[in-house]
Amino acid sequence: MRITVVGTGYVGLVTGACFADLGHEAICVDVVAEKVEKLRGGQIPIHEPGLDEVVLRGLEAGRLKFTTDLGEGVRTSQFVFICVPTPPAEDGSADLSHVQQAAVDIAKHVGDYKVIVNKSTVPIGSSNVVERIVRERLPAQIEFDIASNPEFLREGSAVFDFMHPDRVVIGTHSERAAGMLTDLYRPLGAPLIVTDPATAEMIKYASNAFLATKISFVNAIANICDGVGADVKEVALGMGYDARIGFEFLKPGPGFGGSCLPKDCRALISVADGHGYDFGLLRGVLAVNDEQHRVITGKVERLVGGLAGRTIGVWGLAFKPNTDDVRDSPALAVIHDLLARGAKVRAYDPAVDPGRTFEGIERAPGAVDAVDGADALLLLTEWNEFRWLDFARVRDAMARPIVVDARNFLDPHLLRQLGFTYEGVGR
Ligand code: NAD
């Protein structure tokens, strides 16, 4: 098959590279010429495990191409995947302008039958919008179909997730498009859910809203555990063995973040509002999430005895490990709260570009440098390299041996033995 992918971000680049790896020809299109140039030379703009190998394999085999020329891809492809951003608008709804622009641009080059597949996360009903845009611009005799094919990959394991999805959702009114997409995805061996576009779009929002709900739920339970002296890790374990609940997403922390969960929750609330339903439950999920940043800051403040003028050494800026993505990172939200309360912050992250500046944050070249002379260590992203550090050295570098482990990642017994005051979340 020949596939054009519009947008070479986390989703588009992984989609194009993985389809090429599966033996198809993939043409990845982006509006940012500099990014395309780098990708042509095999330079990957994001930190994503395994992605460089897949991209290089595709380039070497000649099955993966990068271009700014959308027409080059669309004219010769059977599938056109839209993988452009859907950022939040001011009112929380999803801004569809990139998707709409992509649809306008695609329509200019459609000369024969295509399946136009939307992989961006979009409000329910957006497939109709894309269909209308393309239809209005094409002569009636040119056939095309629209499908919604939401993406569920996780940053940090995006290539694995694409190749081993829990399920593939295909939403279309066209049997022809459903058949072609089913053939495309069948080799992955995942359950295929073929449904209508609105249902497919809702599956994506409902899934992300549910995951966010689990996180806020366990954060709320963790905060109560802090009060009553229970251990949330064991509570989550005890809950997780119940097959109706499961273990995933029951890890307390500084709140959820990243480019998807917060924006998708807000967008679903906005969709609900638009249909006269007040999604109070999901508003609560977001409120708990916002409050969780302050819960973490409050722990640091209490342990160091006021934040004004204190130096806090922070480990982790990315919104989760194995990615350099800081979009809506809870680490940054917590740090902003620390700064607002007068603290100085020196931060280290293994993957976030050391040359990148963040207002008010001093960057450190290593984990121990970050805590040098610090009044407390605050772990915000659970990178593996933090687990087995020489904590005696860490202790000796610090002005005061205080650790707030916002991910419950470190070993409290070891740290207490070494003389640290240790506090996690909910235990
Ligand atoms: P991103 O910001 O990383 O990448 C988007 C890319 O699209 C950028 O390179 C941008 O230059 C390009 N672009 C924008 N408009 C374009 C146009 N008209 N033509 C060609 N290229 C264009 O975004 P992302 O994280 O890959 O997310 C894309 C979509 O997928 C969003 O709707 C997001 O919600 C959804 N999604 C993201 C993830 C994730 O983990 N990042 C997971 C599932 C779904």
pLDDT digits (tens, 9 = 90+) for 246-274: 999 999 999 999 999 999 999 999 999 99
Give the residue whose CA is nearest to atom 1 of ligand 1: 9
> Which is catalytic among the residues 18, 28, 260, 265?
260
- Contact in structure between 315 and 378 (CB atoms under 8 Å): yes
Instruction: Give me 267's structure tokens.
Output: 């967008």
Per DSSP, 358 falls in state B
Q: Which residue has the tokens 């290593």?
A: 366
- Among protein residues, the one with the nearest Cα to ligand 1's atom 20 is 30
Residues paired with 195 in a beta bridge:
171
Could you give the CA distance from residue 409 to residue 427 in angstroms, rounded to a whole number?
A: 12
Let me know if 225 is a catalytic residue: no
The average pLDDT across 287-299 equals 98
**What's the CA-to-centroid distance between 45 and ligand 1, angstroms?**
13
What is the reported pLDDT for 240? 98
Closest CA relative to residue 15, chosen from 68, 44, 45, 54: 54
Ligand 1: distance of its center to the CA of 259 in Å?
10
Distance CA(364)–CA(346), nearest Å, equals: 6
Ligand 1 lining (C-beta closer than 6 Å): 6-12, 29-32, 35, 83-86, 98, 101-102, 105, 120-121, 151, 153, 155, 259-260
Tell me which H or E stretch contains 377. strand 376-379
The half-sphere exposure of 228 on its side-chain side, counting CA atoms within 13 A, is 10
Give percent of the chain with pLDDT exceeding 70: 100
- Residue 364 — pLDDT band, cuts 50, 70, 90? very high
Tell me phi and psi for residue 332, to 5 degrees. Answer: -70, -35
Among 66, 67, 83, 328, residue to substitute to test ligand 1 (most atoms within 8 Å of Cβ): 83
Cβ-based neighbour number of residue 71 at 10 Å: 16
Q: From 427, 329, 315, select the one nearest 380 (Cα to Cα).
A: 315
Can you say whether residue 255 is alpha, beta or left, with left for phi > 0 and alpha for psi between -120 and 50 degrees?
left
Q: Tell me: the pLDDT tens digits for 128-181?
A: 999 999 999 998 899 999 999 999 999 999 999 999 999 999 999 999 999 999
* pLDDT (tens digit per residue) in 402-413: 999 999 999 999
pLDDT at 257: 98
pLDDT on residue 242: 98
Q: Please, which pLDDT band fits residue 320 given cuts at 50, 70 and 90?
A: very high
CB 202 within 8 A of CB 271: no
Tell me if 382 sits within 8 A of 156, measured CB to CB. no
CA-to-CA distance for 120 and 151, rounded, in angstroms?
A: 7
CA pair distance 341, 360, nearest whole angstrom: 12
Contact by Cβ (8 Å): 54, 159: yes
pLDDT digits (tens, 9 = 90+) for 186-213: 999 999 999 999 999 999 999 999 999 9
- What's the token pair of residue 265? 């929750």
* DSSP string computed for 196-226: -HHHHHHHHHHHHHHHHHHHHHHHHHHHHHH
The pLDDT value recorded for residue 140 is 87
Nearest to 75 by CA among 7, 2, 179: 2
- How many residues does this entry show for the chain? 427
Q: pLDDT tens digit string along 294-315?
A: 999 999 999 999 999 999 999 9
What gap in Å lies between CA 322 and CA 63, rounded to an integer? 27
- Mean pLDDT, the chain, integer: 97
Q: What is the mean pLDDT of residues 76-95?
A: 97
Q: Which candidate, 201, 221, 233, places its Cα nearest to that of 129?
A: 201
For residue 96, report the distance from its CA to the centre of ligand 1, in Å: 12
What is the biggest distance separating any 2 CA atoms in the chain, rounded to whole angstroms? 77
| Residue 118 confidence (pLDDT) | 98
Q: Is the pLDDT of residue 343 over 90?
A: yes
Structure tokens at 390: 């020489």
Range 265-285 average pLDDT = 98
Q: Rounded CA gap, 233 and 210, in Å? A: 20
Single out the residue of 227, 280, 225 nearest to residue 250, CA to CA: 225
Amino acid at 125: G
- Only one residue has tokens 């891809």, namely 73
The answer to whether 339 and 309 are in contact (CB under 8 A) is no
**H runs (alpha helix) in 77-196:** 97-107, 126-137, 158-163, 175-185
pTM: 0.96
Distance, CA 6 to ligand 1 centroid (Å)?
A: 9
